[in-house]
Amino acid sequence: MVSMRRILHMRLIATAILAAALAVGVAACDGQDEKTGATQAPPPAVKIVKAVSQPVGSAWSFTGKVQAVDRIDLRARVEGFLEQRAFVEGAEVEKGAILLVIEKGQYEVRVAESEASVTRAESSLRLARVELDRSRTLVQQKVAAQSRLDQAQSAYDVAQADVTAAKATLEKSKLDLGYTDIKAPVAGRIGRISVSVGNFVGPSTGPLATLVSQEPMHVVFPVTERELLEARKQGAETGRGADSLKVHIRLADGQPYPHAGTINFVDVQVAGGTDTVIVRAVFPNPDRTLIDGQLIAATLESKDPQKLPVIPQQAVQADQQGTFVLVVDNENKVQVRRVRLGRQVGGGRVAAETGLQDSDKVITEGIQRVRPGQVVAPVESENEISSQTRG
């Protein structure tokens, strides 16, 4: 009996010790939880790039079209059968080169006839001159009446008019004979012929072929009134007007054209339906890359660039108020900066015309994890900084 009581006593003591141990453990855990809850989470890491100022010119982009300086439809000015084609379709021809020949026979005959008419008229004029001189002498000697002198004078005047008319007919005949040779009025490239040799052609036939000049070439593109005012304002600030602007173009394959152009014409009126003004630039075309009617992408930019902060395009965000970036201040707090973007400068970078200064720390990665006023741990992106330096 005593042994049983001793066993129960020992179990009670063990139970009390275990309960005390559990209570201490729970209290220790509660204290640790309270301590952990009181510890703040570390600030989120974000990647930043320092804005780097670079020379950047103002630029405006447009869609334009190449136009030949001269585009000429070759037409027959006289009637006749087409006798010869003296060019290769698509080839370049020199100014004054004979391109097409219309049969000459009937026009050579007309020239010969006109020459004979001039000879006959001149002979009649000489005879009329002799008769006029004779009549004047007889009248002075009072041998003939004044009416004879008047008739002789009239005959002489008619003979003079006949000579003038005959010579005019001869000139027209020679012109018609010359028109049988259709020549290139300018140097350029000639297209397909619209009729075959042997067909009857004339002024009503329509264009026989088209000739387009090749050097230089024009590029025309529409500019909005606002963009035109901005460009003119910048030109006025430089004091050089349109000379302070240059035009670059990209071809259909996206490759840049190696030669810059200059503006040589701005239209005098605004198109009512589109609120645009046609601007024309002239480009050299030594390699004949530019083709009449070709579509291109034109960029109008200033020749006098300004130093502007350049940042990665991926850092730019947009909302209803416009574009903005997130920057990290000297206390590592996030701030919102409203920016007005300028032109893209390549390498996925863009210039900021307003809102940023040189060396501002712009967040490029981790934007979605932070909010304005939050403390962050900025990490500079070495790759993007070096790419800016190379640009």
pLDDT in tens, 262-282: 888 888 888 877 788 899 999
Which of 14-23, 254-263, 284-293 shows the highest mean pLDDT?
284-293
Dist CA 341 CA 354 (whole Å):
7
Residue type for 34, please? E
pLDDT score for 158: 94
* Residue 365: strand pairing partners: 47
pLDDT score for 28: 46
pLDDT score for 350: 86
pLDDT score for 62: 86
Mean predicted confidence (pLDDT) in 100-107: 96
Do 281 and 218 contact (CB within 8 A), yes or no?
Answer: yes
CATH 2.40.420.20 fits 46-56+306-390, yes or no: yes
Give pTM, 2 decimals.
0.62
pLDDT for residue 6 is more than 70: no
pLDDT for residue 225 is more than 50: yes
Tell me how far CA of residue 236 lies from CA of 240, 241, 262, 331, in angstroms: 7, 5, 17, 43
Distance of CA 375 to the CA centre of its chain: 48
Topology of domain 104-179, CATH: Helix Hairpins (1.10.287)
pLDDT for residue 149 is more than 60: yes
Tell me how far CA of residue 122 lies from CA of 151, 171, 173, in angstroms: 19, 16, 18
- Read off the pLDDT of residues 327-340 as tens digits, 9 standing for 90 and up: 999 999 999 999 98
Locate the domains of the chain by residue range: 46-56+306-390, 60-69+216-302, 104-179
pLDDT score for 35: 47
Q: Which of 2-11, 183-192, 227-236 has the lowest mean pLDDT?
A: 2-11
pLDDT score for 242: 54
- Read off the pLDDT of residues 72-83 as tens digits, 9 standing for 90 and up: 999 999 999 999
Tell me how far CA of residue 274 lies from CA of 222, 224, 225, 263, 281, in angstroms: 9, 8, 10, 21, 20
Helix/strand/coil percent split, the chain, to 5:
35, 35, 30
Do 340 and 352 contact (CB within 8 A), yes or no?
Answer: yes
Class at the top of the CATH hierarchy for domain 60-69+216-302:
mainly beta
